[in-house]
Chain A
Amino acid sequence: MRVLDRRLPLLETAAAWLLAVLWIAPLAYAFWAAFHSAAMATHFDLFGTLTLDNFRKAWTYAPFPRHFLNTIILVTMVLAAQLVLCTLAGFAFARFDFAGRNVAFGLVLVQLMVMPEVLIVENYLTMAKLGLVDTILGIGLPYMASAFGIFLMRQTFKTIPRELEDAARVEGCSMMGVLWRVYVPLARPTYLAYALVSVSYHWNNFLWPLVITNSVNTRPLTVGLAIFGAPESGVDWAVISAGTLMAVSPLLVAFLLFQRQFMQSFMQAGIK
């Protein structure tokens, strides 16, 4: 006999909905404002005339196309480098019993706490020495060897049965061949989860990109958005909403389409 009726009591259902409406309201309001004229934004009228003017203005007021391009280059570059570096390092930690492995792994994990944005002062000096100030490579470089990625790949590779590796070796596969033909294909779900977290993180990252860039040609979307949205810029609110929505829309749409994967990936990233 199942006595369990996991339906929420009516009062709690109402409260859950109320909170949901409250939670989506700021975004919904920005959405509404972006499609209406600035004069209307302050006189809320649900059925006011729709306009795309704000998007057109935002697109021309700030160099949005360039910021979009910079962010896409940054995100792709960081992810590509992370995938390669973390796969190699994760493989080393999972399957090689080299001297000093545990100490090295401990040192890798330090980065989980001390993220590059905490060390902006010293990292800026390093970038200046390398001549990488105001370059997209300069934004991405400190993040390419990701402790979280290395940890994640190590855990995943450890779950893959050794027998598969041995079989491949018997067939005459080299060490790198084993990695490429056995480990990498089996870790595909982990790669997907990691990619979602990495792309979201770098699409949204702000402090370090702000510090290290100083021209339109390198600034990513978040930095462009901050300059555009600053009260000093004097741009009206409807246009700022439109610009903000444009900047977040790729990630937002991706999230709406792949909700489950996003939540699962974020969870994995948190639990580590």
Chain B
Amino acid sequence: MRNVYGWLLLTPAAILLIGFTHYPAVATLFDSFFSTGTVVRPSRFVGLANYALLADDPIFWQVLRNNLAFAAGTIPTSIALALLMAIWVNDKLPARALVRMSYFTPTILPMVAVANLWLFFYTPQIGLIDKVAAVFGVPSHNWLGDPDTVMACLAVMTVWKEAGFFMIFYLAALQSLSPELEEAAKIEGASRWYYFRRVTFPLLMPTTLFVLVNATINSFKLVDHLFILTKGGPDNASNLLLYYIYQVAFSFFETSYASTLTVVLLAMLAAMAIVQFQLIEKRVHYR
């Protein structure tokens, strides 16, 4: 009886989950072994041909490199800033609520709106950065149009958007630390920096690992800003895997190849899931 009841309650959610998560994940893998069907040539089994195509696709490798560079550029910076922010607003400081609000506000803005705002800063000549640079006699620069600067520009914007979000996890962790630790350190005459290095930072390690995994996952999922700022350009210099999948599927209509690329993305997310799962297992020992 409890069997029937349990499954009955679960059924509506299960149908939707299977329909939009499990079925498409399996179908993606399946489709990656077939060619894209057209009106004249129906889809047929091609084995690993799509994967061979992928291995020879320079854009795929560039997009993957970009993704890793983007993650390497944004994640450590966001985490360091988030930690700094959390330590600051955890202590007494005048107008603390305002400071905390200022750090957190970018988090609740949609990435599209953020991109709209930042587009103006990066616009050559009339943009804010070039205006300020002109005061110091620095010549105008096409920040988003130059393959050498475009990724850095996007990284700065992403750090701005995400640091405040990670801050709240550190803040929660800091508040759970026992105040006796700090008192003991004070009595022993430890400096603030020493206390941070030897006590706070090691104790926050589980939080850091947790934020690290989440930030890595985000770096693969967040591509909204590319639609506004660069469209992956110039010459794919700022293209990311998920945006490339979008382009291949909905601009080039190569559905099978898009599925093949999605398999790569799913594999990466699965790898991250395994890491996260192991972290959660470990965390049990900490508490």
The interface-forming segment of B10-18, B54-62, B63-71 is B10-18
**B120 partner residues in chain A, CB cutoff 8 A:** 33, 237, 240-241
Contact of A170 with B by CB under 8 A: no
**B270 partner residues in chain A, CB cutoff 8 A:** 113
Residues 106-152 (chain B) with a chain A CB within 8 angstroms: 106-113, 115-121, 123, 126, 128, 131
Given A20-B102, A115-B221, verify A226-B245 contact (CB < 8 Å): no
Contact of B103 with A by CB under 8 A: yes
- B20 and A119 contacting across the interface, CB-CB below 8 Å: yes
> B104 is contacted by which of A111, A121, A207, A263 (Cβ under 8 Å)?
A263
User: Of all chain B residues, which has the CB nearest A88?
Assistant: B9
Contact of B183 with A by CB under 8 A: yes
Given A6-B91, A226-B228, verify A27-B106 contact (CB < 8 Å): yes
Contact of A4 with B by CB under 8 A: yes
Q: Which interface class (under 10, 10 to 19, 20 to 34, 35 or more) fits A?
A: 35 or more
Bits for A64-88, please: 1 = Cβ < 8 Å to B, else 0.
0000000000000000000011101
User: Of all chain A residues, which has the CB nearest B274?
Assistant: A113
Bound-complex Cα distance A240 to B119 (A): 10
**A88 partner residues in chain B, CB cutoff 8 A:** 9-10, 12-13
Q: Which interface class (under 10, 10 to 19, 20 to 34, 35 or more) fits B?
A: 35 or more
Shortest beta-carbon distance, B76 to chain A, in Å? 17
Given A89-B13, A244-B113, verify A3-B168 contact (CB < 8 Å): no
- A119 and B25 contacting across the interface, CB-CB below 8 Å: yes
User: Of all chain A residues, which has the CB nearest B30?
Assistant: A122
Contact of A37 with B by CB under 8 A: no
- B28 and A110 contacting across the interface, CB-CB below 8 Å: no
**A104 partner residues in chain B, CB cutoff 8 A:** 10, 14
- B13 and A226 contacting across the interface, CB-CB below 8 Å: no
- A147 and B110 contacting across the interface, CB-CB below 8 Å: no
User: Of all chain B residues, which has the CB nearest A27?
Assistant: B105
Bound-complex Cα distance A142 to B101 (A): 32
Shortest beta-carbon distance, B23 to chain A, in Å? 8
> B21 is contacted by which of A3, A89, A119, A207 (Cβ under 8 Å)?
A119
- A12 and B88 contacting across the interface, CB-CB below 8 Å: yes
Q: Do most interface residues of chain B lie in helix, strand or loop, or is the interface mixed?
A: helix
- A23 and B108 contacting across the interface, CB-CB below 8 Å: no
> B5 is contacted by which of A15, A96, A206 (Cβ under 8 Å)?
A96
- B6 and A145 contacting across the interface, CB-CB below 8 Å: no
* Chain B contact residues, CB within 8 Å of chain A: 2-3, 5-7, 9-10, 12-17, 19-25, 27-28, 31, 81, 84-85, 88-89, 91-95, 97-99, 101-113, 115-121, 123, 126, 128, 131, 160, 164-165, 168-169, 172, 179, 182-183, 186-187, 192, 210, 214, 217, 221, 223-224, 227-228, 242, 245-246, 249-250, 255, 258-259, 262, 265-266, 269-270, 272-273
Please name 24 pairs of A and B residues whose Cβ atoms are closer than 8 Å in the assembled complex, sorted by A.
A4-B186, A6-B92, A27-B106, A88-B9, A88-B12, A89-B12, A98-B2, A112-B273, A113-B217, A114-B269, A116-B20, A124-B249, A145-B20, A204-B108, A204-B111, A222-B112, A226-B227, A226-B228, A237-B123, A241-B120, A244-B116, A255-B105, A256-B101, A270-B165
Going nearest first, the 6 A-B pairs with the smallest beta carbon separation are A98-B6, A96-B6, A122-B24, A204-B110, A145-B16, A92-B9
Extra contacts, 19 of them, besides A96-B3, A121-B249 (Cβ < 8 A), are A3-B183, A3-B187, A4-B182, A9-B192, A13-B93, A16-B88, A19-B84, A26-B121, A89-B14, A111-B17, A116-B20, A122-B24, A122-B259, A141-B20, A204-B108, A237-B123, A248-B108, A252-B105, A255-B105
